[in-house]
Structures are given as structure tokens and as C-alpha cells.
Chain A
Amino acid sequence: KQEVTQIPAALSVPEGENLVLNCSFTDSAIYNLQWFRQDPGKGLTSLLLIQSSQREQTSGRLNASLDKSSGRSTLYIAASQPGDSATYLCAVPIDSGSRLTFGEGTQLTVNP
């Protein structure tokens, strides 16, 4: 059974810092890995999707990497801003379909 773990559970940084969020998964036979952002009381916004054949994906100040063999992914946020404050979730498909197993998330606070 796939298990997804995210470290740290919470992170507080001053504005402008570069930071790394970690995600690990127990079954390396994944089809892709997705990073989401969740704002308080809101839904999920997809940030980056990395296919199993890819090593990384970039979008603006965000860069996600994937190492299937070690069961790890990282989300790198450059030059953090207060608007980046949110909970970041990683998720992998349960199988080849679209059902997802989520980590518990990292709650990020960027202080002005």
C-alpha cells in the first residue's frame, strides 16, 4: 500500500528565502507525482505534475524534482513571498488512473 510522507509538517521563513519541501513515497512504481497548493478554506490548486520519466518540472519560482528510485520528490520555492503562504501537498496516483494518495502536507508561512 502506497504511503506518502511530507517533511516538515510546518515551516516558517522570512520573505526572500529559498526553501525546499520534501515528499517521500513507499512504492516507487508511480506514474507521476503532483504538487498542490491549498489555501485555508479553499480547494486545491495544481502547481506541478512530474511524469515518471521526468526528473524535474519548473513553473516560475517553483521547481519540483523526482527521484523514483529513492522514492523522493522535492519542491523548491525561490525567493519566497508572503503570498506563498499556504499548505503544500504532494500526491501520487494509486495506480495508472487518477485516484490519488496524498501526503499530510507542509504548512508554509512566509513572514514579511
Chain B
Amino acid sequence: NAGVMQNPRHLVRRRGQEARLRCSPMKGHSHVYWYRQLPEEGLKFMVYLQKENIIDESGMPKERFSAEFPKEGPSILRIQQVVRGDSAAYFCASSPSGREPFFGQGTRLTVV
């Protein structure tokens, strides 16, 4: 049973481009969480999804950021028109219902 898989591990985008981060949860996990870690800061919760539903997006910036977890395929965190301040490590975690989450290795986004 592979762990939580995130890709790409590193992503470089120019200002104004779109970034798409993918997360494949562990087998049997139907809950996905996205966190962001800005340089020199702790992890901050962004969004919680179950299959085809956004449960809690209270940590998502109001503009340019969106997330989905389709019935088939990985969860996607999408950042439109990236800016330098979006440079961070983005972590995905998954869990079965109501249990402690398992984290992926993260995607490190650099905006140049």
C-alpha cells in the first residue's frame, strides 16, 4: 500500500502562470486535506475534501485557489495566475473517516 503520493515534487512557474498540484491518497482513504507551508512558517490548513465534495475550504485564499477531488483520479490543488507569494511547500494528507491523517512528501512551488 503506497503512501500518499504527491506530484510533482518540485514545480517552477513564472508569475501569471497556472500551477496544478496533484495528490493521490492512500488506498481506502476517502478524505483529503491540503496544507501550505510558507517559508519559515508552520503548516496552515487550506481545504478538506471528500470524493466530489468540498467539506471545509476555510483556509483557502478567496481568489485564484481552487481544489477538487473527483470520483476518479487524484485530488488537484489549482493556483491560477501565480504570484511570488504563492511560493511555498504544499502538503497533502489523507485519512479514512475520522482517523489521523497520513502526509505526502509535498510539492515545492517556486514562482519566478
Contacts and interface: CB of A to CB of B under 8 A. Distances in A.
What is the interface residue range for chain B against chain A? Answer: 20 to 34
A44 B103 contact: yes
Interface in A57-112: 89, 91, 94, 96-105
Given A41-B108, A43-B105, A49-B100, A100 B45 contact: yes
Nearest to B105: A43
B62 interface: no
Given A42-B105, A43-B103, A43-B104, A99 B56 contact: yes
Contacts of B108: 41
Contacts of A44: 43, 91, 103
B98 A97 contact: yes
A96 B43 contact: no
Contact of B100 (A34, A89, A101, A105): A34
B85 interface: no
Given A94-B45, A99-B48, A100-B45, A43 B100 contact: no
Contact of B99 (A98, A100, A105): A98
A90 to B, nearest CB: 10
Contacts of A96: 98
Given A43-B91, A43-B105, A99 B42 contact: no
Can you list the 5 inter-chain pairs with the closest CB atoms, starting with the nearest? A43-B105, A104-B42, A44-B103, A102-B43, A98-B95
Interface of A: 32, 34, 36, 41-44, 46, 49, 89, 91, 94, 96-105
Interface of B: 31, 33, 35, 41-45, 48, 56, 91, 93, 95, 98-106, 108
